[in-house]
Amino acid sequence: MATRETRLRAISLYKELHRLGREYPDPAYNFHKKLRGLFEKNRNLSDPQEIEKAIKLGEYIRNETLALYSLRKYRYLKRMYPQDSLSDPPL
């Protein structure tokens, strides 16, 4: 049964992913549509183990997206501000 607790977790996860999706770098990838679609698909789960699995998958995607963003930023900064200040940043 979907408890109040899992409902709250799912909703807060959705809100977090939704906010993250605003910054997704590839315009061709419809983050929000996929997000909505995946949550809708699992809206009627009743087995607590399945619910837990679905939430864990959502959290995994959230962490992967965060890693994507921070790697992207780090790579850009590393190129633009090289350790060896004598080398020019690439054009």
Partner 1 sequence: MRPSAVRLLNILVPVKRTVDYAVKIRVNPDQKGVDLNVKHSMNPFDEIAVEEAVRLRERLKDEVKSIKVVTIGPTKAAETLRTALAIGADSAIHIEVPESAPAPEPLGVAKALRAVIEREKEGVDLVIMGKQAIDDDAGQTGQMLAGLMDWAQATFASKLVVDPKKKEAEVTREIDGGLQELKCRLPLVVTTDLRLNEPRYASLPNIMKAKKKPIEKLTPAELGVDLKPILETIKVTEPPKRVGGGKVENVDQLIAKLKEAGITPVKS
Asked if 84 interacts with partner 1 (CB under 8 A), we say: yes
3-state helix, strand and coil shares in percent for the chain, rounded to the nearest 5: 70, 0, 30
The helix (run of H) or strand (run of E) holding residue 73 is helix 48-80
CB closer to partner 1, 28 vs 81: 81
CB closer to partner 1, 34 vs 72: 72
Asked if 11 interacts with partner 1 (CB under 8 A), we say: no
Asked if 12 interacts with partner 1 (CB under 8 A), we say: yes
- Cα separation, 66 vs 82, whole angstroms: 23
Tell me the three state secondary structure of residue 87: coil
Asked if 73 interacts with partner 1 (CB under 8 A), we say: yes
Asked if 1 interacts with partner 1 (CB under 8 A), we say: no
Asked if 91 interacts with partner 1 (CB under 8 A), we say: yes
